[in-house]
Structure 1
Amino acid sequence: MASPFFFVKKKDGKLCPVQDYRKLNKMMIKNHYPLLLISELMDKLRSAKYFTKLDIRWGYNNVCIKKDDEWKAMFRTNHGLFKPTVMFFGLTNSPTMFQWMMNDIFKDLIATGKVTIYLDDILIFSKTLEEHWKITHCVLELLRKHKLFLKAEKCKFEVLETKYLRVIITRWVTELAEYHFTLHHKPSTTNKKVDLLSRRADHLQGQDDNDKITILAPKHFQALIMPTTNKTHEHIKSATRDHQKWDQGIANSLNHEKGLKEENGLLYYDKRIYVPRDSAVRGEVISHCHDHITAGHPGIEKMKELILRNY
């Protein structure tokens, strides 16, 4: 079995070789090694002032295919069949294997909380220049040791602003990330001066350019990002009714306890579902939030935050 081969033009005008591995990917066992979440990245960047961004050259091609397995990734061209010795873009496990390799090489630096890596993009961040120089030197030494090369034209050193994972990271953004904001509506009657300015006839409102923008209601895509909880909720209902505390006063509290209500057999407190002290049910809730495709293994504190949003 050989996969089709073709070229795709890149932004810089160069051609990128691509193999159509769709049939091969269907037969491969998927590697579910977690990738970096943007929310985790922003948490790590708090208080950072200086940034260095490095881009690894050749990306997935830096990962060798296991010996005697090269035939599986074989592709055909008009010049014959070829067996690659390195991973290519298009193989289902290329991103996760490359991420695992990078995390393994830089594990000690990542543990310091001053380096983060997403596939072929390395970001170094620190409060002081002295610390930044030291970390950057260690990163470059590891790159040389493992024979990994950089794209010089895409690297940025010791800057106060950079673009990483399509997010523009600046010093003022990381400062704002240290604060928790709550938006409150202020009626126009309590702020008449500002309201008066917004109603001036000589202020042009501009043209509405949102005609081509379609806004979908949350109900149309909520199922794609939320875990399937129907069975879990049924187990919570059963455990809530069977739990001894229900008979000891929870049912009676529904009439006068503020924020407590029953809906469809589930007990809600402050708009969150009450989960009784049942180890099996609580374990199921944790498993749903931790193992779901959108969770990404966020860590203990983030995991607690995700659970407490609904339970």
Structure 2
Amino acid sequence: MDKENYTAVTEFFLIGLSHYPSLQISLYALCLVMYLVIILGNSILIIISIQDPRLHTPMYFFLGNLSFLDICYTSSSIPPMLVNFMSVRKSISFTGCALQMVISLGMGCTECVLLAVMAFDRYVAICNPLRYTIIMNKGLCVQMATWTWASGFLYSLLLTLLAMMRPFCNNIIDHLTCEILALLKLICGDISLNVFVMTVGNFFFLVFPLLLIFFSYVFILSTILRINSSEGRKKAFSTCSAHLTVVILFYGSALFMYMKPQSKDTKTSDELIGLSYGIVTPMLNPIIYSLRNKEVKQGVEKLLTRKLYLRKI
């Protein structure tokens, strides 16, 4: 494409769902409520995992990482989205768009790997219970968490730089946020390098972790089925059911978003699924873990009882 068709971009306009003003008002109220639930629910999980000595285990260490990740991920996208819902101009600066993309991509990739790490933790706990504390020692847990965060952000930084350094034909993003797939549609010229890097990233951050989760649960299920007592099988399965539910919710929407064939036009269904991927799943994570884990329930009850006691004093 000729150079005169390139646009010098200093800001982007986010026009996702702008053709449905009544829907935007409803989404504003819904997203605000869901964001408050995300902050409250995940903050409670982090607090009880720190304060309750019974929860000082690898499983809750990674769960605390997941809760902190969900808070950061949604905080990078929901507040600007709420502002845009009520704004007439619906713009975001070039730098703000790049920063939002780095954070959201980094958090999404980190969560993919973190869920695989949590599956490995459950595999060791159920398939090698006698060696669990030796294998999943504090040093290994910290290293795994560090590499999980680092790999996600390095990849997102690379993908964002490759996208933002290219010339744009226009600055109108047909999406609610600075989403990488929507932004790539604005680039003038060849994006084969961007597509190649994203394809490789999809394998390492979507397919490969999902395979690790799948094989971990194959071994976990075979071990559970060999347990003689029904009470033992129920207890073993209950420790995995919450994680498995989160995996299905997260990977279901993520695979739909990033593995399906892309078209030039953004459909309303894609934007709504993007909302599910970016808001609904982080909101449900603490609820799922609270309902499925007896220790979390007890930790929440203990925290609330302490708060009520202090308030009476």
TM-score normalised to the size of structure 1? 0.26
Relative contact order: is structure 1 or structure 2 higher (C-alpha 8 Å, sep ≥ 6)? 2
Decide which structure has the larger Cα Rg and report it: 1
Bigger share in strand: 1
TM-score normalised to the size of structure 2? 0.26
Bigger share in helix: 2
